Amino acid sequence: MRATFKGTPKGSGAGSMQALYAQLLVGLINGSFYALLSLGLAVIFGMLNIINFAHGALYMMGAFVAYFLLNLGGINYWWALLFAPIIVGIFGMILERTMLQWLTGLDHLYGLLLTFGIALIVQGVFQNYFGSSGLPYAIPDQLKGGMNLGFMFLPIYRGWVVVFSLVVCLATWFLIEKTQLGAYLRAATENPTLVRAFGINVPRMITLTYGLGVGLAALAGVLSAPINQVRPLMGADLIIVVFAVVVIGGMGSIMGSIITGFALGVIEGLTKYFYPEASNTVVFVLMVLVLLVKPTGLTGRAA
Amino acid sequence: MKTKSIASLLLTTALTFAVTGVASAQDKTVKIGALSDQSGLYADLGGPGSTLAAQMAVEDSGLAAKGWKIDIISGDHQNKPDIGTAIARQWFDVDKVDIIVDVPNSGVALAVNNVVKEKNGVYINSGAATSDLTNAQCSPNTVHWTYDTYMLAHTTGQALVKAGGDSWFFLTADYAFGAALERDTTAVVTANGGKVIGGVKHPLNTPDFSSFLLQAQSSKAKIIGLANAGGDTTNTIKQAAEFGIGKGGQKLAALLLFLTDIKAIGLETAQGLNFTETFYWDMNDQTRAFSKRFAEKMKNNAPPTMVQAGVYAGVRHYLKALDALGGNPHDGVKVVEKMKSMPTEDDLFGKGEIQPNGRTIHSAYLFEVKKPSESKGPWDFYKLVGTVPGDQAFTPLSESKCALLKK
């Protein structure tokens, strides 16, 4: 009586190949968000040794700030890409100065619990005022519409998300791995006392790093605002997956988190194509497998 | 010694029975439990608003003046059947709750249905969609208000097939509700000469639908039926617009859409969607007056959704039945029988009745979402396009598989 359907496509080989390309591209789009968020987490963990559970809430704040800028201040999407990360980044730096800095040297568990608590409070406050359904945020006029790639209709905005986040990810990697400032940062992580002895203000650098990681989360929030609803729980839904991405990629590895972010987006996309029911769990299955074989993650160094 | 203790036991038992017997005749205490999704994707369509609706129903009933003492407690089932049943059990066993209302999410609703029956409470469901509550899994303790999947299929679904939408592809939320809605709609589609050519089941609470939408797009079906709800539906509709579905000739069938969903999507994207509801705040003077009072007490000044309206109407009718009984017998079957024997009438749903299977019958309305230029206020979203009388909208008793009907 009841018809059941599998997600597996029917039809000719060529048609299925086209559908497969489309799913790969869609996976890449979701991967962009995973990459941006896991990058921020990796930066924070690498430099501050804090597992930032507030990351999802800060991502959500980025989207909300974009919404407020547009609806209260008339400031458009393009400026929001700049201002929202700065505003949320400053909020993050205040958090670091007032709370997180006291946890230096303590067990990871303390940082995790503190940031988790912060996330619950921030989400609760937003939910109290804005409900759970979310608020609409329109795609900017310049990026409306789409183009036909032959195998799929690609909304221009989604293409923009992939390109933009790739550029931001690579720029962050360059900043930390290839510049003088990045070298100071990495040195400060290895031996803060020694770096201080060279006359570098380590606590300020740590605060700025946290601000950078938080800014990346807020940036991802602005990027996702036109695609998803601007919802108080948008980050809570995503953050668990992103943590799995970070674990798979290796905690604290910058390039590892970028590559894993994009790769897992693609794998998830393929799952949605072949066996959609499992699309919410595939990342965690992979995480379990990776942890069993290589507990430090794919690119992680031994602790 | 032994005989003495047995005698004292018997005496105590007898006394207890005597005391409760006396109490039930004049007992005018009631405890209402509003069980809902308080913070997830269904929280805006039910949630705190449903608790408020129950409170207003108690205030408007005027029973307090007649010496009744009515308490309301609320709980968050988090869309998890195990949590829902645990709360329901605790409410009946520890908190002595008489009636559970709302309970959106069909999976949780069906699980709670069993608990209420086992504990002989009263269950007025408004938030859940599955037609099984008054069909295969009907219970003498349950009244299902507001809407169900059969009604949605036979209004929105049928209208679309008759307008030429004869091939369907389903995007279905992968749990009891999605399955029921897909099943009931498929029946309507095939009965009207249409065909279902494919479908995909997505997990509940999915943020990104693009993969599924691409599959729907390449299926070339004329209608993409959305057998999902709340945040899932709003995300699907928004992202479908992004992927140019609609411009390619395919039509989205939002089988279940709530006022709060339209608010979240925005009129720009939602305009022109056809769907069915049984209540809208801007129907007549009574609904407007109620909605104004309701919105003033809501945090974001939102008028009631049909689910919240159903909670209000359901609790009003329940209290009328208790009033007619002259006291609370704390016996769910007895109270529900009384509720079924009285015609329903309230400001929000008008006149109706509760069928022997527990289904409340009232009119259903076909709406179309207004264009942004037609909307005159922050919640002015719907245009009425048609009215379906209750006896045509809901499952006819002749088709119902409910065991209560065989008596």
- Claim to verify: residue B264 and residue B231 sit in the same structural domain: yes
Q: Is A101 helix (H, G, I), strand (E, B) or coil?
A: helix
Q: What is the mean pLDDT of residues B13-36?
A: 69
- Claim to verify: residue B329 and residue B350 sit in the same structural domain: yes
* Contact assessment for residue B311 and residue B348, using Cβ atoms and an 8 Å cutoff: no
Residue A101 carries which side chain, given as an amino acid letter?
A: Q
pLDDT at B369 over 90: yes
pLDDT at B265 over 80: yes
Closest by Cβ to A19, choosing from B44, B45, B214: B214
Confidence band (pLDDT; 50, 70, 90) for B216?
very high
- Claim to verify: residue B288 and residue B238 sit in the same structural domain: no
* Contact assessment for residue B315 and residue B323, using Cβ atoms and an 8 Å cutoff: no
pLDDT score recorded for residue A21? 82
- Claim to verify: residue B329 and residue B223 sit in the same structural domain: no
pLDDT in tens, B38-67: 988 899 999 999 999 999 999 999 999 999
Q: Which of B385, B392, B389 is nearest to B351 (CA)?
A: B389
* Contact assessment for residue A225 and residue A63, using Cβ atoms and an 8 Å cutoff: yes
Q: What is the mean pLDDT of residues B240-260?
A: 89
ipTM: 0.78
Q: pTM for the whole thing?
A: 0.83
pLDDT score recorded for residue A9? 42
Low-confidence ranges of chain A (pLDDT < 70): 1-15, 300-303
Q: What is the mean pLDDT of residues B180-190?
A: 95
- Claim to verify: residue B168 and residue B200 sit in the same structural domain: yes
pLDDT in tens, A268-277: 888 888 888 8
pLDDT score recorded for residue B288? 96
What distance in Å separates residue B30's CA from the closest CA in chain A? Answer: 29
Q: What is the mean pLDDT of residues B258-275?
A: 91
pLDDT score recorded for residue A152? 80
- Claim to verify: residue B134 and residue B263 sit in the same structural domain: no
Distance CA B116, CA B114 (A): 6
Distance CA B263, CA A125 (A): 20
pLDDT score recorded for residue A122? 95
Distance CA B42, CA B228 (A): 11
What distance in Å separates residue B98's CA from the closest CA in chain A? Answer: 29
Whether chain B has a CB inside 8 Å of the CB on A60: the answer is no
- Claim to verify: residue B338 and residue B196 sit in the same structural domain: no
Q: What is the mean pLDDT of residues B95-105?
A: 96
* Residue boundaries of the structural domains of chain A: 16-238
Q: Do A227 and B208 touch (CB under 8 A)?
A: yes
pLDDT score recorded for residue B11? 53
Contacts of B40 in chain A (CB under 8 A): 132, 233
Q: How many CB pairs under 8 A join A and B?
A: 132
What distance in Å separates residue B169's CA from the closest CA in chain A? Answer: 10
Domain for residue B406, yes or no?
no
Q: Do A269 and B41 touch (CB under 8 A)?
A: no
- Structure tokens of A191? 């031996």
- Structure tokens of A95? 């958090």
- Claim to verify: residue B95 and residue B225 sit in the same structural domain: no
In this structure, what is the dihedral angle of CA atoms B318, B321, B323, B329, given to the nearest 10 degrees? -90
Give how many domains chain B has, as a whole number: 2
pLDDT score recorded for residue A3? 40
Closest by Cβ to B205, choosing from A19, A157, A237: A237
The full 3-state SS of chain B, as one line of letters, equals CHHHHHHHHHHHHHHHHHHHHHHHHHCCEEEEEEEECCCCCCCCCCHHHHHHHHHHHHHHHCCHHHCCEEEEEEEECCCCHHHHHHHHHHHHHCCCCCEEEECCCHHHHHHHHHHHHHCCCEEEECCCCCHHHHCCCCCCCEEECCCCHHHHHHHHHHHHHHCCCCEEEEEEECCHHHHHHHHHHHHHHHHCCCEEEEEEEECCCCCCCHHHHHHHHHCCCCEEEEECCCHHHHHHHHHHHHCCCCCCCCEEEECCCCHHHHHHHCHHHHCCCEEEECCCCCCCHHHHHHHHHHHHHCCCCCCCCHHHHHHHHHHHHHHHHHHHHCCCCCCHHHHHHHHHHCCEEECCCEEEEECCCCEEECCEEEEEECCHHHCCCCCCCEEEEEEECHHHHCCCHHHCCCHHHHC
- Claim to verify: residue B372 and residue B229 sit in the same structural domain: yes
- Claim to verify: residue B291 and residue B215 sit in the same structural domain: no
pLDDT > 70: what percent of chain B?
A: 94
What distance in Å separates residue B207's CA from the closest CA in chain A? Answer: 7
Domain for residue B6, yes or no?
no
Distance CA A80, CA A93 (A): 19
Q: Do B231 and A229 touch (CB under 8 A)?
A: yes
Q: What is the mean pLDDT of residues B106-130?
A: 96
**Residue B87 is part of a domain; what is its CATH number?**
3.40.50.2300
Residue A204's CB is within 10 A of a number of other CB atoms, namely 11
pLDDT at B406 over 90: no
pLDDT > 90: what percent of chain B?
A: 78
- Claim to verify: residue B239 and residue B332 sit in the same structural domain: no
Q: Which of B42, B80, B203, B41 is nearest to A228 (CA)?
A: B41
Domain for residue B400, yes or no?
no
Distance CA A276, CA B202 (A): 6
Closest by Cβ to A276, choosing from B45, B202, B299: B202
pLDDT score recorded for residue A63? 96
Confidence band (pLDDT; 50, 70, 90) for B3?
low
pLDDT score recorded for residue B5? 60
Confidence band (pLDDT; 50, 70, 90) for B293?
very high
Domain for residue B5, yes or no?
no
pLDDT in tens, A25-47: 888 998 999 999 999 998 888 88
pLDDT score recorded for residue B4? 55
pLDDT at B353 over 70: yes
pLDDT score recorded for residue B261? 92
What residues make up the domain containing B368? 150-282+364-391
Q: What is the pLDDT of chain B when averaged over all its residues?
A: 91
Domain for residue B357, yes or no?
yes
Q: Give me the phi and psi of A294, to 5 degrees please.
A: -140, 90
Domain for residue B315, yes or no?
yes
Contacts of A129 in chain B (CB under 8 A): 299-300
DSSP letter assigned to residue A274: H
Confidence band (pLDDT; 50, 70, 90) for B12?
low
Contacts of B206 in chain A (CB under 8 A): 279-280
Domain for residue B1, yes or no?
no
Q: Which of B339, B332, B286 is nearest to B309 (CA)?
A: B286
Q: What is the mean pLDDT of residues B152-175?
A: 93
Domain for residue B404, yes or no?
no
